Amino acid sequence: MKKLKFIHSLKFRLFLLIALIGILPSIVLRVGILTTYENRAVSNRSIDILSQAKILANQVVTYNYLADLSEEVINVQLDQISNIYDGRLMIINSHFQIVKDTYGIDTGKTIISEEVVKSFQGEEISKYDPDSRYIEMAVPLKNNDTQELLGVMLVSVSTDSIMMNYDYLKKNLQIIEMVNAVIIVALALFWARRLVRPFKKMTKSLEEIQAEDEDEELMISDYTETEAISDAFNEMLGRMRGIDDSRQEFVSNVSHELKTPLTSMKVLADSLLGQEDVPVELYKEFMSDIAEEIERENKIINDLLSLVKMDKAAGGLNISVVNINELLEMIMKRLRPIAEKQNIELVLESFRPVSAEIDEVKLSLALNNLVENAIKYNRKDGWVHVSLNADHKYFFVRVEDSGIGIPEEYLEHIYERFFRVDKSHSREIGGTGLGLAITRNAVLMHRGAIKAHSKEGEGTVFTVRIPLNYIGGIA
């Protein structure tokens, strides 16, 4: 049901998106055409009228119309322009008195308006009032010889004819827009269904993969995008299967590793219980073996707990500024008794003082594992050299030994959990197969890197690189 809702929701969104993409431009185009037409028509009409008004203003001054209102030539032209442009003309003298009104309404009245005042200052005023649909102009009546302002001509022209064409154009554009909208909606519905079809196939394929064949892969190649999604999904599915296989293998290994000491202890205990009058020496020997198996079991459990903690996000790190020189000296001091038992020379070489932002507990455990492994998997009378160096960005810890070495084919597996190169020797010295996995996780949590170089029979070199300044985020 949720998948069907998702498909329907996706189809609706695609339909809405396509429809909007198609309809919005037509709306914008309609508004743009109408606005452009209105502005252009008004501008042309204004230029036309202003030109006529200037010519008439010159004639008013030339014929001295303000002194003789009976001048028939001017009166005819005033009425003619008023009729042609469906407008009103008023002649105002220097006393702000209306001496001529083509409408015959305000003749003899005084008019003081902003346009008239500005025109008496020599300005030509032209403005359009879209609400009343009138173009209004004020043209100064100026004597060309003396430049004296004799009066003002006010012109008010209706734009009804322009707006009639505007309304006609608007209706036609709206009809075109509606037809366009119907076509776009139909196309949007068609394309929404077509575009969603691969996702329906993808949903069906996912259900089949989940219900039937785990080894089947998703492949929807209708579009480049769905093919990319399929590839990404298959890659993720492969990783999940790998993680699942790894988890199963890990659980199997844990079960085996935990079961082995328990089996040994049970055999030893049953041997004691199956005998009467067990000699004290044999009893002590068996109990000593049982104690060793318990210690081995305890170490496996502790290493597993450490590994679980390492698997958590780096947000769990307790970062502080630590003196790395002192940290390595403490590790060497702790492990020196183990080295002395095997007569192994343990040397620390520090090239410079180093302080870094680290989780002291986790990184100490990681470095301790490297040095301890170098001691345990060494030869008698061998050596372990630990060196510390740094640059402006990182510090480097190098652990080199003269031990048994690691075959080249095993190097890529040494960080896997419970992996042992020599299982019998590892169990003999108490190894759990988790030490290097813990070390690698701790180094990665600090956004560092670890590398191993080894040759069988010639020893091993581990190099650890850690940033001096902690880099936040999940490792």
pLDDT tens track for 254-295: 665 566 667 767 777 777 777 777 777 777 877 887 887 787
Q: What pLDDT score does 424 carry?
A: 46
DSSP annotation of 316 reads G
Q: What pLDDT score does 212 carry?
A: 59
Per-residue pLDDT tens digits for 402-413: 988 888 887 887
Q: What pLDDT score does 466 carry?
A: 94
Q: What pLDDT score does 255 carry?
A: 62
How far apart (Å, rounded) are the C-alpha atoms in residues 47 and 427?
Answer: 104
- Give ranges for CATH 3.30.450.20 in the chain: 2-165
Residues 325-361 as b/e (b if ≥16 CB within 10 A, e otherwise) read bebbeebbeebeeebeeeebebebebeeebebbbbbe
Q: What pLDDT score does 371 carry?
A: 93
Q: What pLDDT score does 145 carry?
A: 80
Q: What pLDDT score does 386 carry?
A: 95
Q: What pLDDT score does 393 carry?
A: 93
Strand 383-390 and strand 345-350: the pairing is parallel
Q: How many CB atoms lie within 10 A of CB 376?
A: 21
Q: What pLDDT score does 426 carry?
A: 46
For 317, the token pair is 């790190």
Q: What phi and psi, each to the nearest 5 degrees, are found at residue 335?
A: -95, -5
Architecture of domain 313-467: 2-Layer Sandwich (3.30)
Q: What pLDDT score does 226 carry?
A: 64
Q: Which of 259, 263, 254 lies closest to 289 in space, CA to CA?
A: 263
For 370, the token pair is 């490297």
Q: What pLDDT score does 324 carry?
A: 94
Which residue numbers in the chain have pLDDT < 70?
1-12, 14-15, 19, 192, 195-202, 204-227, 242-261, 264, 296, 299-300, 303-304, 306-316, 417-433, 472-475
Q: What pLDDT score does 346 carry?
A: 92
**Residues paired with residue 465 on neighbouring β-strands, in sequence order:** 396, 449
Amino acid at 45: R
Q: What pLDDT score does 307 carry?
A: 62
Q: What is the dihedral of CA 334, 340, 342, 343, to 10 degrees?
A: 140
- Give ranges for CATH 1.10.287.130 in the chain: 227-311
2-165 fold = Beta-Lactamase (3.30.450)
Contact 129, 136 (CB under 8 A): yes
- Give ranges for CATH 3.30.565.10 in the chain: 313-467
Question: Is domain 227-311 given the CATH code 2.40.37.10 in the classification?
Answer: no
pTM: 0.45
